[in-house]
Structure 1
Amino acid sequence: MSLAAESTSGSARSLRLTALTKEFATFTAVRSLDLEVPAGTFFALLGPSGCGKTTTLRMVAGLDTPTSGTIHLGQDEITYQKPYRRPVNTVFQNYALFPHLNIHDNVAFGLRRRGVKDVDRQVQEMLALVELEAQARKKPTQMSGGQQQRVALARALINRPEVLLLDEPLGALDLKLRRGMQIELKRIQTEVGLTFVHVTHDQEEAMTMADTIAVMNGGVIEQMGSPAELYENPRTTFVANFLGQTNLMPGTVAGADSDVVRVDMHGTQVSIPADRAHTREGSGWVGIRPEKVLLAPEGEPIDAPGNHMTGGVITDVSFVGVSTQYLVRMPWGQELMAFEQNTGRRAVLAHGTKVDVSWRPEFAFLLPATQDVNAGAVEEA
């Protein structure tokens, strides 16, 4: 029976973490984490270095022991089970392949160690899955980084784990290879139907592959949901800043009803959909993604009915091929980012051009002013 067939045979179990905590001598890495990963999904733990994501993965793998809390697969608790007894396998960033063995034997290693029969057929099936059938007799050193990563994946999958843990698996690859492997990993996960839990600090990587993302910060989950949900409707400034780029502008709630929250921004009233307004009184941060911001030379019409502001001046223009990225200084002194697709509809606006700014109300969101406006912002090296 193939791995894909086995994974859909009805025995799949969800992974559940309950009040999971890991304390070290000088700090708490993971704080009372509650999390459920549905069987058969591609789940990403996303966050900056030191947020607790790798520690969480290591506790699931059995490589670190929780200070408190529990880990369940379905109804079975595995919190203190030895790593080799768990139906879990891990793929690390450094691949950990045996350099003296060829690819076939690397993939076969775990099965042979357990005395499994019909190893060659299973290895061939795995190499076909990762599209490396022709490379079976090569040594790891004769292969590219992307090929070595696929060997490591095949070696983990051949053991038929219920959960595959991926710890920054693409971090050692160059950008082009990494993007190709993102697509490959998602294809393989879809084909075999196993639960993948992927740890990464790369926002694009998580959003490209995962069905669900949990954004971690300081040992806790800031927000969890689909990539589109987290990007379009962040609930904290950390998530808004960490997932892509965003404009966060100060405002004061002027009124609210069941559908819309109205916010005064420096004398202009803007509207926020009620389900995207995460505060309904006092001060707040009005958020809008740069690609949702529309520009036009002063006085010219903008095809975005709703939130419209005047008095902007372009202070920076960056042509990046598919788009042009503008900085626009607003009358109150803040610079807004605006990304415009280079469709050829009009010429690039020049530095110093006076512009009006607009966005559709349904794309905006509102966050409490008590949250740090710079939380989650990735500083340039």
Structure 2
Amino acid sequence: MSQVDEVLHQHRERAQTRDLRLEGLTKEFASFTAVKALDLVVPTGTFFALLGPSGCGKTTTLRMVAGLETPTSGRILLGDDDVTYTKPYKRPVNTVFQNYALFPHLDIAENVAFGLKRRGIKDVKGAVAEMLELTELSTQATKTPGQLSGGQQQRVALARALINRPEVLLLDEPLGALDLKLRRSMQVELKRIQSEVGLTFVHVTHDQEEAMTMADVVAVMNGGVIEQMGSPTELYDNPRTTFVANFLGQSNLVAGEIIGVDGDVVKADMHGTTVSVPRERAHATSGKGWIGVRPEKVLIARTGERIDAPGNHMTGAVVTDASFIGVSTQYRVRMAWGQEITAFEQNTGLREVLAPGTPVDVSWRPEFAFLLDASQDVTAGLGEV
């Protein structure tokens, strides 16, 4: 067994059954409450994302776990160990910040070795070499941070944190300083490293794509509380609130009157058309509701033409805008009742782009719809960053 394999095995053995648990965690500042009685379990070995707009409480939560903020009330536990008031340097937790906080006067190997040397460990050469190999930095060991790209600097920060064998690695907007192409590349790299080391990663971000790409579990935060938590697929396909529907991707939300439950579906009257929603996607069963469907699930065709895989079917619509965005065309369509909805159509080349002014029929398969309580603000989550 190589030294890095032994280190990773020790990580996994040590971390077994030691989930990170937040119980009633609250942080109050003079003028507002940043985090409100938060209950949360982060399973051992998962890539966990705290996703939300600026000011939602995600970074404050991360800082409390790191020991950089003291909770007003509640507890932070690793397994059975209460670390709520443990000094930051005594917690089995390390943090990678957006600015990386590397030492500019030390070379890469010395930056990575810093934590071990600070703990009085003298023989660090082998461990440093293994961590540089894990983060694909072996050829950069003698360079200084200023000679590296942003993505390479982030890998140095990761290696420096991982070499300390934390049970939990906290990532505070770690990709925010990178350009789009590099950021997407590093999303893959971060997930690869997390999979290899098997540690618990808690990643704070406002970027929906980042969270969806990397995380096993995503918790969407808003106003100091968690709106919904689950796998990226679950949150995207079956949002439980208008905030999650609007913040995580795009949604069309249309007002309707719920007719009632009919077997495994809930039926609703949507401006004169009876539409069906799967029971497990219906988060209201009476009164008024918001019928939701993602833009890529909306099918359109010239009025009277056949729609592939038709479902809930509406006539009398017209294209108001068509934007070619490479892999797909984004349409804005004004429905017969006056509301504009969005449809994404893959650019397969099977037909020409429909020009604004084209009369169209609109359809979506019932199994792709969801239903939310109309008491929720239909604009919640729109324009949040």
Match of 1:104 in 2: 109
- In 1, Cα distance between equivalents of 2:48 and 2:15: 19
Match of 2:69 in 1: 64
Match of 2:342 in 1: 337
1:10 Cα offset (Å): 5.5
Which letter maps to 2:9? A
Match of 2:368 in 1: 363
Which letter maps to 1:90? T
- In 2, Cα distance between equivalents of 1:218 and 1:248: 22
Which letter maps to 1:68? S
Which letter maps to 2:228? Q
- In 1, Cα distance between equivalents of 2:165 and 2:123: 15
Summarize deviations over 1:237-286 as a string: whole Å, max 9, x none.
00000000010000000121340000101110000000000000000000
1:118 Cα offset (Å): 2.5
Give the TM-score, by structure 2 length. Answer: 0.97
- In 2, Cα distance between equivalents of 1:17 and 1:35: 5
1:331 Cα offset (Å): 1.0
- In 2, Cα distance between equivalents of 1:137 and 1:143: 11
SS of equivalent to 1:9: helix
Match of 1:205 in 2: 210
Summarize deviations over 1:4-50 as a string: whole Å, max 9, x none.
22222254311000000000000000000000000000000000000
Summarize deviations over 1:220-244 as a string: whole Å, max 9, x none.
0000000000000000000000000
User: Is residue 308 of structure 2 the alignment partner of residue 287 of structure 1?
Assistant: no
After TM superposition, the structure 1 = structure 2 runs for residues 61-100 of structure 1, keeping only pairs within 5 Å, are 61-100=66-105
The runs of 5 or more residues in structure 1 that have no matched partner are none
SS of equivalent to 1:29: strand
- In 1, Cα distance between equivalents of 2:340 and 2:217: 32
User: Is residue 252 of structure 2 the alignment partner of residue 247 of structure 1?
Assistant: yes
Alignment equivalent of 2:133, drawn from 128, 136, 150: 128
1:305 Cα offset (Å): 3.1
- In 2, Cα distance between equivalents of 1:258 and 1:235: 21
After TM superposition, the structure 1 = structure 2 runs for residues 180-219 of structure 1, keeping only pairs within 5 Å, are 180-219=185-224
Alignment equivalent of 1:179, drawn from 184, 194, 217: 184
Match of 2:309 in 1: 304
SS of equivalent to 1:213: strand
User: Is residue 9 of structure 2 the alignment partner of residue 5 of structure 1?
Assistant: yes
Which letter maps to 1:73? L
1:303 Cα offset (Å): 1.7
SS of equivalent to 2:313: strand
- In 2, Cα distance between equivalents of 1:19 and 1:238: 23
User: Is residue 143 of structure 2 the alignment partner of residue 138 of structure 1?
Assistant: yes
User: Is residue 171 of structure 2 the alignment partner of residue 166 of structure 1?
Assistant: yes
- In 1, Cα distance between equivalents of 2:360 and 2:384: 28
Give the TM-score, by structure 1 length. Answer: 0.98
Alignment equivalent of 1:270, drawn from 257, 275, 286: 275
- In 2, Cα distance between equivalents of 1:255 and 1:15: 41
Answer yes or no: is the 8 Å Cα contact 2:271–2:337 preserved in 1: yes
Match of 1:45 in 2: 50
SS of equivalent to 1:251: strand
Match of 1:114 in 2: 119
- In 2, Cα distance between equivalents of 1:258 and 1:159: 55
SS of equivalent to 2:117: helix
Match of 1:230 in 2: 235
Answer yes or no: is the 8 Å Cα contact 2:295–2:342 preserved in 1: yes
The more displaced of 250-259 and 235-244 is 250-259
Match of 1:16 in 2: 21
- In 2, Cα distance between equivalents of 1:369 and 1:335: 18
SS of equivalent to 2:105: coil
User: Is residue 225 of structure 2 the alignment partner of residue 220 of structure 1?
Assistant: yes
Which letter maps to 2:13? S
Match of 1:372 in 2: 377
- In 2, Cα distance between equivalents of 1:370 and 1:204: 28
SS of equivalent to 1:249: strand
1:82 Cα offset (Å): 0.3
- In 2, Cα distance between equivalents of 1:154 and 1:191: 13
1:115 Cα offset (Å): 1.4
- In 2, Cα distance between equivalents of 1:211 and 1:116: 34
Task: Quote the RMSD (CA, aligned, Å).
Answer: 1.0
Summarize deviations over 1:105-145 as a string: whole Å, max 9, x none.
00001101111142000000000000000000000000001
Which letter maps to 2:361? D
- In 1, Cα distance between equivalents of 2:118 and 2:380: 48
